[in-house]
Structure 1
């Protein structure tokens, strides 16, 4: 039976956190975000995989790899039409295979790679699985940011692999660089008529409707960060520490958006944004 897909090729479609303690991770995110978790399945490598949901819609996965006790980390998966072709494109453009492709029959084929700066990211060829079913709502995934020491190299790599363009966005109070996939806004507008006009009416910068992520130049190593929408970033940061997590940065306010960078008890780093209530 065919499945109506929520994400076109070239768009981040799923996130998961690799953790040495899937039970502890489920407890942390369940308390922090109100996620409900399924009973879990055995992952292809023999580890444990559970899926978190909000109001019946899948939001993220938690995986405990077999025999590994490394610190936790969030992973972003980009949908592709052909995983084998994507693997070739990654390697030919200076990336490398981190974890070879695994097949979950009837659901998806996935693999993990590193980009030229060492940032780990995933690709997923979807079948029965549709990706994250609830996004951009309180306590769900909102965006991803590539933090890298060389944005020029990143722009060439991800442009070649996924067709992304690095586009500067001016919000008045600050500027940022978006990853844009040409035509993505048209896809969203077809599914949600008025989407593009709503961005225009709301004062979004040109190209924002095609945005699939953010690009930020930093010193040191490269990584992909995951961001979540919450009702109150400051309160979420406080609650995270009560649950055994850590506040790495913030809470702070940028243009009316409260944000904080947090880590769960296993060390997996993530950001929360409240898009309205001032952090304090």
Structure 2
């Protein structure tokens, strides 16, 4: 689905902080069919934009010395019309400012926060760069999901800080899940992960990439140096698997099996997903 209509508070961009941009480019280029363009080093710090069929889908950046002890990781960014106001709201509602709003010349304003449950979440206030241009097609982002150890606190945080209009998809002891938007309009999800996230693993956002064939994609990824962390599993929402790229950054893949949508809320509308 090209040119998603991204509303404030919805996911609008993803990027990878990696210890090896050359290895990342080779891996994701082969796996998802991405092309890459590096930005000006002085102006943008060599930030790399990934494109699919000429449309921007993701970014990647080499970790600096201050991030050397942190694992390689993908990040989700939510759209904000005022990053400074969002930073104030994050603090007011129990979150943390990991990186205060920073101007990216001509492109927009970015910031990194910790939500009230400890999960890192990015914010993007757009100017020229409005966000990704292609979603929910093979090799592009399909869904964004927060796995949280404090489910009620997380839901309230995103409602209060980002204005999420939430919908409870499931509320049983086995499966608690709330979405941003309802049904066909759902754009992201919050899952109660308190029963399965290890003590040493903080609450975290996870990104799903759409693929045509989960098993073929897994085989290709492993051949390129990835590891299978979980799955593949058939679900009502598609065939899912969790992988780690060659430097350890985790991501998920989802293939529509015809039993439902390719996103984990069975949403047919991937606008902003």
TM-score, length of structure 2 as denominator length: 0.84
Does 1:262 pair with 2:236? Answer: no
Q: Partner of 2:82 in structure 1? A: 82
Residue by residue over 1:172-194, the C-alpha shift from the partner in whole angstroms, topping out at 9 and shown as x without a partner, is xx97623224xxxxxxxxxxxxx
**Aligned residues of 1:5 and 1:130 also touching (Cα < 8 A):** no
Query: Cα offset for 1:65?
Result: 2.7
**Aligned residues of 2:4 and 2:133 also touching (Cα < 8 A):** no
Q: Partner of 1:50 in structure 2? A: 48
Q: Take 2:40 and 2:5, find their aligned partners in 1: how far apart are those partners?
A: 24
**Aligned residues of 2:140 and 2:209 also touching (Cα < 8 A):** yes
**Aligned residues of 1:234 and 1:259 also touching (Cα < 8 A):** no
Q: Partner of 1:214 in structure 2? A: 189
Q: Partner of 1:29 in structure 2? A: 28
C-alpha RMSD of the superposition:
2.1
Does 1:230 pair with 2:211? Answer: yes
Report matched runs for 1:1-280 at 5 Å: 6-42=5-41, 47-67=45-65, 68-69=67-68, 70-169=70-169, 177-181=177-181, 207-219=182-194, 220=197, 221-255=202-236, 257-276=238-257
**Aligned residues of 1:178 and 1:212 also touching (Cα < 8 A):** no
Query: Cα offset for 1:98?
Result: 0.8
Greater RCO (CA < 8 Å, at least 6 residues apart): 2
Q: Take 2:144 and 2:220, find their aligned partners in 1: how far apart are those partners?
A: 22
Gaps of 5+ in 2: 260-273
Q: Take 1:263 and 1:43, find their aligned partners in 2: how far apart are those partners?
A: 31
Q: Take 1:43 and 1:23, find their aligned partners in 2: how far apart are those partners?
A: 19
How many residues were matched structurally? 246
Q: Take 2:252 and 2:63, find their aligned partners in 1: how far apart are those partners?
A: 23
**Aligned residues of 2:158 and 2:164 also touching (Cα < 8 A):** yes
- Where do 4+ consecutive residues of structure 1 move more than 6 Å? none
Gaps of 5+ in 1: 182-206
Query: Cα offset for 1:47?
Result: 4.6
